[in-house]
Structure 1
Amino acid sequence: MAPLMMRVAPYAILRKLLPLPGQDLDWALCCEAIEALRVLDTTPQDPVHHAEGDVGTHTRWVIACLREDATFQQALPDRQWVMFMAVLLHDIAKPATTVVDEATGRIRQPGHSARGAVDARVLLWLSGCPWELREAICRLIAVHQQPFFVWHSHRGTPPEYVVRKLSWELCWAELLAVARADMRGRICQDQASHLDDLLLLEELVREEGAWDRPRSFADAHTALQYFRGTRLYPDEPLHPQPGSRVTVMCGLPASGKNHWVAKHRPDLPVVSFDDAREVLGLAHGDNEGKVVHQVWDQARALLRAQAPFVWNATHLSHSMRDKTLDLLYAYHAQVDIVHLEQPLPELLRRNQRRDTTLTNAALLRMLHRWEAPLPTEAHQVMYEGGVTLPSAG
């Protein structure tokens, strides 16, 4: 069974998984609350990087190391829980991504960080976890390996860029606490060198003024252009060129995007795949190429006129949004992303009542692609409708 569809306890129960000081971790209770954890004890790891054994053993060792970390011990309860849950779930996708080389016997789990963030997002969403805490956890999971390679980037990415960008997406103090625990909670030959790299990285983070806050930039436009690869000095403003002001909607089907647009942008033109399908007389999934062509032609016309408009689509994954954002920024648009969500029962109820060819089963399959937008993707990112489900005591 995929982790996305496994049982998870309510948020109030998940809060109790973090042991009080002096108490031991109750792993059986964790596995009862989050069903996906049960297979970690039978999921192998490559002995070169994890001579301690299976994923479950590693996870428990990492939790023990995290609880001894000074940053964790000095944090407020909410932030301690965020770091704890990030560590508890940081390898949640290893069972689904495990690949064993038949010739050498080497074990790999490619993409487990990104996949794990998606799995954790859905699990925590189903639990009713507040979205602020949920997204903090998922962002830590998504990049939990990056601190180990900041000084050895295969792409030649400058360490300063990594520090500055991630400081806008998460708390570096928390990420480094998770990374230290992840490295200490294993047996490997290069452990000492990785821990030394983390010490150097902490120095850089502090020098950049990004330890517990976003690295300062002259303004939001300058920051966005820097994150998108423009070479510039963060403290010198980069003046924007004229362009459209575009609101990019983001969220699962039936999350309320149409209602939000009608309420907050009633007078603006709307570019929509659903509207394009209706104009073309096509069902969901039919001749999507023609639908995309129709939408992009409409968007380009508005961008050339520098007119404000709304782009209303699910935009669920980073790759889906990147296609839209690349077009908008090519025309110097100023972009606001609005992310909407609802509890799963409400989504399914709404979708059944809509005049749509999208089935509830197809909607559920979309959860495998759900990557919430990051603050570094647009001039402004707004999260609305982060409704929490009633939870048991």
Structure 2
Amino acid sequence: MWQLSENKDWSHLEHTFEWVRVMQEVPQDARYHAEGNVAVHTQMVLAALQQLPAYRELPPADQELLWAAALLHDVEKYSTTVIEPDGRITSAGHARKGEARARQILYREVPAPFLVREQIAKLVRYHGLPLWIFEKPDPQKALITASLEVNTRLLALLARADALGRICTDQADLLYRLDCFEELCRENNCWGQPRPFATPQARMEYLFKTGSSPDYVPFETPQTPVILMSGLPGAGKDTYIQRHYKQLPVISLDHIRQTMKISPTDKSGNGVVIQAAKEQARIYLREKKSFVWNATNITRQMREQLISLFTTYEAAVTIVYVEVPAAKLLQQNRQREEVVPAAAMERLIGKLEVPTSAEAHELKIAVSS
């Protein structure tokens, strides 16, 4: 069974992990965290979590996963905390940055199994959602989208420990909000499970069309399968394509770049490469011809732009995410014709956003050891 640390004594954690050690340097607003800095709060959250009956009933593997998420949930308050001119202390964006940091730690520093790592990263990303979901413009859609990425039952446990592991005047209100969140999950059939949809197209319609109902089932279905590759340089995307999609035409940004003799570091040139690739994609899409789009596509924003283009032509999009362990990734990168510099590779690892089923009609995960 994977563990972030077998020794869970705080002094050991501080000695072992620099990102734990710096928590004591991060202040918090006394109105919401009268207990003190992030280190004090995190220790209180861990203690509260382990006292929850629902936590104790979990299988040991889930307990370890949730404990790690609690330890990491405020890991990026260190980089986002600001003391405002009026004295308020804020940490806007710490959950989103925390997801990326947790993923890096569990990919490079303390390697975790893929599914464990991604669940921890998403728990960090969404740990505040149960408390604030009713302030979202569309609480139902926010919940259903999150349920496709994170286990809402584990999320509610983490949020409850987060609320109990602090000293504040509104704790009773926070706990009431958590009760309401759990009820909302049950009402929408996504308590501890992804919200089910009748078809992949029904899920896409709901997620990407304003005003759509999660129960609506579109009559027409997409006709043209399109494969969107995703993965860091050197992860093995080309090899995967050769094994599984050899019969399909491939739009390769690397190939177009080489043909045009454009350097990967030429930002304006890369724009030309992408436009050329999109034009070729439009030709295939108009002809209702399946193809593979082969590029890193490691950020959700880049994937969304491409998926929007493909679905405009009624394509059914499958994302294929390819991953290898960090050591193997760096080794395979060195064996590539176009080697990505080490510093650039580190930046890419830091930017990595692993695809989820909330993005496309189908998601395939190809993780090798």
In 2, the alpha carbon distance for the partners of 1:31 and 1:306 equals 57
Q: Displacement, 1:270?
A: 1.1
Cross-structure match for 2:6 = 16
TM-score, normalisation: structure 2: 0.94
Cross-structure match for 1:272 = 252
Identity %: 35
Cross-structure match for 2:171 = 191
- For structure 1, the 5+ residue unaligned runs are 1-10, 18-24, 388-393
In 1, the alpha carbon distance for the partners of 2:56 and 2:200 equals 33
Task: Tell me if the contact between 2:45 and 2:166 (Cα under 8 Å) persists in the aligned partners.
Answer: yes
Cross-structure match for 1:40 = 23
Q: How does 1:276-291 map to 2 (within 5 A)?
A: 276-286=256-266, 287-291=269-273
Deviations 1:166-197 (A, max 9, x none): 22222111100001111111122322212111
Q: 1:13 to 1:164 in 2, by over 3 A?
A: closer
Task: Give the partner amino acid of 1:359.
Answer: P
Q: Displacement, 1:244?
A: 2.3
Q: 1:12 to 1:217 in 2, by over 3 A?
A: closer
- Secondary structure of 2:30's counterpart equals coil
Instruction: Give the count of matched residue pairs.
Output: 366
Matched, 1:51 2:31: no
Q: Displacement, 1:289?
A: 1.4
- Secondary structure of 1:338's counterpart equals strand
Deviations 1:219-266 (A, max 9, x none): 222112212235334334213444421111111100000110111000
Task: Give the partner amino acid of 1:146.
Answer: L
Task: Tell me if the contact between 1:131 and 1:386 (Cα under 8 Å) persists in the aligned partners.
Answer: no
Cross-structure match for 1:381 = 363
Q: Displacement, 1:337?
A: 0.8
Task: Tell me if the contact between 1:216 and 1:235 (Cα under 8 Å) persists in the aligned partners.
Answer: no
Deviations 1:327-379 (A, max 9, x none): 11222210111111112222222212211152122111112211111111111
In 1, the alpha carbon distance for the partners of 2:339 and 2:6 equals 41
Task: Give the partner amino acid of 2:63.
Answer: Q
Give me the CA root mean square deviation. Answer: 1.7
Cross-structure match for 1:340 = 322
Matched, 1:149 2:126: no
Q: Displacement, 1:12?
A: 5.2
Identify which of 192, 197, 205 aligns with 2:185.
205
Identify which of 148, 162, 182 aligns with 1:182.
162
Cross-structure match for 1:239 = 219
User: Quick one: higher RCO (CA 8 Å, sep 6+), 1 or 2?
Assistant: 1
Task: Tell me if the contact between 2:299 and 2:352 (Cα under 8 Å) persists in the aligned partners.
Answer: yes
In 2, the alpha carbon distance for the partners of 1:239 and 1:31 equals 56
- For structure 2, the 5+ residue unaligned runs are none
Identify which of 62, 76, 82 aligns with 1:93.
76
- Secondary structure of 1:377's counterpart equals coil
Task: Give the partner amino acid of 2:193.
Answer: R
